[in-house]
A = this chain, B = another copy of it.
Amino acid sequence: MREVAIIGVGIHPWGELWGDSLRTIWTRAALAALDDAGVDRVDAITVGCMSGGMFVGQEHLGALLADELGMAGTAAMRVESACASGGMALRAGFAEVAAGLADIVLVTGVEKMTDVSGDEATAALATAADAETEVFYGATFPGLYAMMARSHMAKYGTTAEQLAAVAVKNHTHGMLNPNAQYRRRVTVDEVLGSTMVAAPLHILDCSPITDGAAAVVIAEISVARRLAKGRPLVKISGVGSATDRMALHSRADMAALPSTTLAAERAYAMAQRKPADVHLAEVHDCFTIAEIMVLEALGFCRPGEGAAQAPSGRTALGGERPVNTSGGLKSKGHPVGATGVAQVIEIVTQLRGEAGERQVKGARVGLTQNMGGTGASSVVHILEVAS
């Protein structure tokens, strides 16, 4: 298998971008990544997007966006795995380069979520759950994750304060990220005092609705070395993807995320790494409970110990293994198709030593974990400074 490295990253400030269209924000990120990589052509483009159809009435984003970028002709496709679409777009791009179908691929993610009403956005997001056995009966994602939280509380004694500590940590990190949607501190009391969405999840336990895009340029490693211009080169050493039963009620244990465990095992095996080798991670904190369960699934701690991580400071900047230094989905925002790509951008920025105030010192191995639905899809990447 050919080795693959990341040679450029591009993002822009996320938020409620009512003045910009999907194609505008995507092009902004794509141009930034191409500029960072120092290339003006690529062999292929992948676009992670959950629902161009339901959010903006536009499918066929591969061709549309290649054209928008002035690159009509270039092979392009969209990849969708609900909120894991961005991570899967990287996996698809990786496969093209690793196989030799392409030397350089522009991997992107985008979602424009605020052009529809909140109700319409909730309905669009709900299509990531099982339409026949979950959505039909009224389930939405806050409700489903609330059941996962209740289950974790019942099984392990997890508390609302521990959930809130995840939000506090990620907002503290997000204040240092100029591209984050909500750059403001929150306290445990503010989280616990905020509107209850689906008990035990308050609104400050939930990631927001966001417009945003993200892009990275990947290349076969010898091509990447030629283009690195002295900067540290970040290679993709592990790729793992897995699914789980679609409906939450079909699973044996609502307090676990086996698709993330399986995806991580596959990525660790490919990279010949173990959890202890990972210096920092970006994980899918769509709700505070998700970060807790993901830390357990990745093997960063034992089952039941995830809730203690944020309160102890171990996952904060300056802690033993910082998690979501970008602010995570919680503070940075969660344009669903873009999230998985933005996670990779944060790790690359850290491994290059270019993260400024939020730099994790000595970081050489990072991990991203992106998931769809209530964990029916997971994708994990391991990134390392290439020697």
Complex CA–CA separation, A88 to B63 (angstroms): 12
Residues of B contacting A52 in the complex (Cβ-Cβ under 8 angstroms): 127
Residues of B contacting A75 in the complex (Cβ-Cβ under 8 angstroms): 241-243, 263, 266
A377 contacts which of B57, B63, B88 (Cβ < 8 Å)? B63
Summarize A's interface: helix, strand, loop or mixed: mixed
Number of chain copies forming the complex: 2
Nearest B residue (CB) for A76? B243
Judged by a CB distance under 8 angstroms, whether A264 is at the interface is: no
- Total residues of chain A contacting the partner, CB 8 A: 70
Complex CA–CA separation, A92 to B90 (angstroms): 12
A227 to chain B, nearest CB (A): 21
Q: Quick check: B76 and A377 within 8 Å, CB to CB?
A: yes
Nearest B residue (CB) for A74? B243
What are 24 residue pairs bridging A and B, where the CB atoms are less than 8 Å apart in the complex?
A44-B241, A53-B54, A53-B127, A56-B131, A58-B130, A60-B80, A62-B81, A63-B243, A67-B243, A67-B244, A67-B246, A71-B243, A72-B245, A75-B243, A76-B243, A77-B92, A77-B377, A79-B92, A92-B92, A92-B95, A94-B99, A98-B100, A98-B101, A99-B99
Besides A73-B258, A98-B100, A99-B99, 14 other A-B contacts (C-beta < 8 A): A21-B132, A54-B54, A57-B135, A59-B128, A60-B376, A61-B80, A62-B377, A63-B243, A63-B372, A77-B241, A78-B80, A91-B101, A94-B99, A95-B96
A63 contacts which of B23, B63, B66, B81 (Cβ < 8 Å)? B81
Q: Quick check: B59 and A82 within 8 Å, CB to CB?
A: yes
